[in-house]
Amino acid sequence: MTRHVTVRLSTGAIRGRRLDGHLSFRGIPYAAAPIGELRWRPPAPVTPWSEIRDAIVPGKPAPQSAQSFADVTSADEDCLTLDVTVPESPGTGRPVMVWLHGGGGTNGTATTYDARRLAATGDVVVVAANFRLGVLACFGHPGLAGGGTFGLQDQQAVLRWVRREIARFGGDPANVTLFGESYGALMVAGHLVSPASAGLFHRAILQSAFAVMGSTPAHTFIPGVPALPPRWIPASELDRFGAATALENGWVTPGSTPESALAQLRQVPVTELLQASAAFIRPAFSGPILPESPEKALPSGRFHRIPLMLGTTRDEARFFVGLFADLAGNPVTTESYPRLLAEAFGTAADKIAARYAPERFPTPSLAWAQLCTDRAWARPAWELGQTFAAHTDTWFYEFADRNAPQIVPLPGFPAGAQHSSELPYQFDLPGAPPLPAPQRALADQMNQYWTAFAANGDPACATLPAWPDVGSGHVQSLSPERIGGTDYVAEHCLDFWAHLP
């Protein structure tokens, strides 16, 4: 028999469910639907309701097209909702953890991340939000105020909702941890720099953040993909690109004024806009939401000084090489390896080839994946950690379970501890296989570390191995076999990479 629980918000009462060990509230609107005239505008207030509103059905995902790594599709712009998971036992003043999902900036939904174990393990309140993605989040055009920042603004609206409402769920609005993985971690970096996010969160965790402070050589993100600039774009450049894209796709009439063009753009069916979504995933800077690129602000210490955690998985790039090269029928070969190196690194190619010789690995694809893990993931993460540690308390981890279950199956490819492989340890994901006992134990330990950090600004747990901060050079390796320090610099050849492109 379903047991319901009611919470009264400032906008009206909601009815959630009392489940095994936790309370679940889903699909709570935190802002008005950004449709029609509200498309590409800051999130607007929710219209209050008078009757009790059911909060038992997940909110609709932000508009997105299916990808090889995610089969979720949606064309409904009414997507600004969030889920709240609360331990079943009564309590007040609990730490709050606000989750920003990954998905490359074009995909993902809060519904995927069932936070019951995380909430119960650490006695925390977990909020997971949907926010605008792709072309609806990071589009820019002359005359469009706030272009390129609508996803960030949605997340700030979530944090303001938390400050206003979370005490009604037993959470402490003065103790909020913002955490995210992959693209979600990139957004966390944006909030660390954004003046509009100041005071809305008090700790932060960045899991597998990508290219926060620098560019990425060709082929080292995905074989065949050219060099990538930093993940932030000047607003003026975005405006020019958005205007050119709108004309090219016939979304606006040539010669239209900016005002007329925006009116036309707000009438374009979302399914047409989604065709260009992957081109609009870089948040824009030089406006009030993000005045400065985090690439410049973070090394200069211009960010919110709060306790920070960050880390990577041991084999990040195996996900991208396995999915987009081997499984796509275009594996890295002994013939293509030198060409990829030359195009990525120019005159340094021979030196890198000597360190990552294909014959030292089971396959050329695995050699390339190790190279990419070290250059495109471990090096930037380490540099980001050192940047943070120069200004605030910072802890660094490496998820190292090479037998982790695969969220996206890679048949025949040794996935190892690939990108996103830590997520089934933190959340219950739909379709994910159950964790065997040793991995379930690691999952509990990881959630204890994460929630201890949320509670105290330090992951230290009396019942778990010590975790010194990264200022001491320590990186905490997390695997079923062992939890403890690892030589991350040596493991990923970071001294070698320090003086290379």
Q: Which residues carry out catalysis?
A: 182
Two tokens, residue 403: 């037998």
d(CA 168, CA 161): 11
- Could you list the beta-strand ranges (E) of 301-341: 308-313
Q: 336-345 vs 364-372: helix axis angle to the nearest 10? A: 20
Residue in the structure block whose two tokens are 């059911």: 54
Going by the DSSP 8-state scheme, the letter that residue 276 receives in this structure is: G
Q: Which amino acid is at 86?
A: V
Kindly report the three-state secondary structure assignment for every residue of 76-118: CCCCCEEEEEEECCCCCCEEEEEEECCCCCCCCCHHHCECHHH
**Exposed, middle or buried, 44 (CB in 10 Å: 0-12/13-18/19+)?**
middle
DSSP string for 28-59:
EESS----GGGTTSPPPPPPP-SSPEE--SPP
C-alpha distance from residue 396 to each of 168, 288, 378, 450 (Å):
33, 31, 11, 12
Phi and psi at residue 293, in whole multiples of 5°? Answer: -65, 130
Q: Which amino acid is at 206?
A: L
With H, G, I as helix, E, B as strand and everything else as coil, classify residue 225: coil
- Residue 53: left if φ>0, alpha if ψ -120 to 50, beta else—which one? beta
The alpha carbon torsion through 467, 469, 472, 476 (nearest 10 deg) reads 40
C-alpha distance from residue 134 to each of 11, 109, 137 (Å):
29, 13, 5
d(CA 397, CA 207): 9
Note the Cα 392 to chain centre separation in Å. 22
Residue in the structure block whose two tokens are 């380490």: 382
Say how many residues make up the chain: 501
Two tokens, residue 79: 């997507």
d(CA 331, CA 153): 40
Q: Which amino acid is at 150?
A: F
Q: Where are the alpha helices (DSSP H) in 275-330?
A: 294-297, 318-321
